[in-house]
């Protein structure tokens, strides 16, 4: 079956630091990959996505590249801000099933 593994948090960084949140997956076929962000007390928002190998999704300074050879979709940002503090979920979608989520990684950015 499908599964998503992402690094456990919390990840604690100072403002303007470089961010990497690792995500690897197991899936049949050729899934689409997503990063969702959840701000405190809110639902999930799509941050970025990639639908095929070597695609790079990007949004709000965040990037992730679909690496089929390593089955990874690591999230990166060159300079984080306090407002980026949130929980980040890596997810995959394959076929007509629902999304498969990782357990989420909390990011805490201090001034």
Partner 1 sequence: GAVVSQHPSRVICKSGTSVKIECRSLDFQATTMFWYRQFPKKSLMLMATSNEGSKATYEQGVEKDKFLINHASLTLSTLTVTSAHPEDSSFYICSARDPGATLNTEAFFGQGTRLTVV
| Residues forming the site for partner 1 (CB under 8 A) | 31-32, 34, 36, 41-46, 49, 51, 89, 93-94, 98-99, 101-104, 106
93 closest CA partner among 43, 41, 25, 39:
25
Nearer to partner 1, 51 or 83 (CB): 51
> What phi and psi values does residue 70 have, to the nearest 5 degrees?
-110, 5
Closest approach of Cβ 85 to partner 1, in Å? 15
* Sign of the CA dihedral running 68, 5, 35, 85: negative
Nearer to partner 1, 5 or 17 (CB): 5
Q: Cβ closer to partner 1: 17 or 38?
A: 38
Closest CA to 92 of 62, 63, 72, 69: 72
What token pair was written down for 108? Answer: 């805490």
CB 2 within 8 A of CB 99: no
Residue 17 or 71: which CB sits closer to partner 1?
A: 71
Smallest separation, CB 41 to partner 1 (Å): 7
Minimum distance between the CB of residue 21 and partner 1, rounded to whole angstroms? 14
């Amino acid at each position: 079956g499908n599964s998503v593994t992402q690094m456990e948090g919390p990840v604690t960084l100072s403002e303007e630091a470089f961010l990497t949140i690792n995500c690897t997956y197991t899936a049949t076929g050729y899934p689409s990959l997503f990063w969702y962000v959840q701000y405190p007390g809110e639902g999930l928002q799509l941050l970025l996505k990639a639908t095929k190998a070597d695609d790079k999704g990007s949004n709000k300074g965040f990037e992730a590249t679909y690496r089929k050879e390593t089955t990874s979709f690591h999230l990166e940002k060159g300079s984080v801000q306090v407002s980026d503090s949130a929980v980040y979920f890596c997810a995959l979608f394959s076929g007509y099933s629902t999304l498969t989520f990782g357990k989420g990684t909390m990011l805490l950015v201090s001034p």
